[in-house]
Structure 1
Amino acid sequence: MSNFVSNKEQLRTALIFCFHLEKIAAESYQLFQETYGERVPLQDTCEQWFRRFKSGDFDVTDKKHGKPPKKYEDSELQALLYEDDAQTQKQLAKQLSLLKPGETINAKRYQQQLIDLGRLLLSKRPEYQQRQHKVILFHDNAPSHKTKLVHDTLEALKWEVLPHAAYSPDLALFDYHLFASMGHALAEQRFCSYEDVKK
């Protein structure tokens, strides 16, 4: 007997040969055992392949199973994983400057984020450098947003900050519904001057 060792696909191709000879799965299994000894698929496996052949599927390669391919919405994360997909979450978080679990944004970190955003904005949108368009920032009343450090940074960047409405106790919940209804009613109207609004 030769040193030939058959692989899965070769055995499956041989099963196709037996199928075309109109052998049944049990006969094919018997022939395989006589020819190859113990290195053959189980009889149940032969029967599964014969069912596939009867349905017209003669593809002897293994079907892809498991998880669907990974999709990333973040191109920076995708680039890091493309470099080395064996990185841990901690390594990726450090490279992407993400917060650690339980860590909060303080004034210093928020200031740095604003500075980084300002740089990116100037590099990607040069029209902001000529001040043809100004940046209008709307952020909430979080303590880190209200510090002098952040206020000075926003002034240096020459960004306008929209005031965030306080949580007013004089507005009841039904007032919010009233304002929404009024907004819908006024949606189609255009006002050219302050006097038009007063009317």
Structure 2
Amino acid sequence: MSKRITPFASRYCRTLNRLKEAIRCKRPGLLRRGVVLLHDNATPHSANLTQQWLQRYGWEILPHPAHSPDLAPSDFHLFGPLKRHSGGMAFESEDDLISELRNWFDNLDVDFFRVGINSLWSRWQKCIDLHGDYVEK
């Protein structure tokens, strides 16, 4: 593994540690039943350090065909509504932008997130069935 990759893999493993701790606090039974994770094939996700972390904690990884934005809930569920909400807005500072984003997220109904996550399974299955080809709505 090259030295350039290691910091990114280390950072990703720290993120996984924070995720594991959040699950432990909010849904402790989930860790005992097993975690199934979908992440893409980015270098930090496929690095040896990350793979060792995932094996250590027994987290299962769903296959993710290369170049498949169809499986990123941010791409197929989040960015469209966010673009419609913020279209035409101008921000004087980064803090103003962050404030508006936080406000938007805080006011989303929990069903918005539920729909996005629940639709992931069918999109994933279609993508796998099509061997990574584009998934039509």
TM-score if structure 1 supplies the norm length?
0.30
**TM-score of the pair, normalised by structure 2:** 0.43
Higher relative contact order (CA 8 A, sep 6+): 2
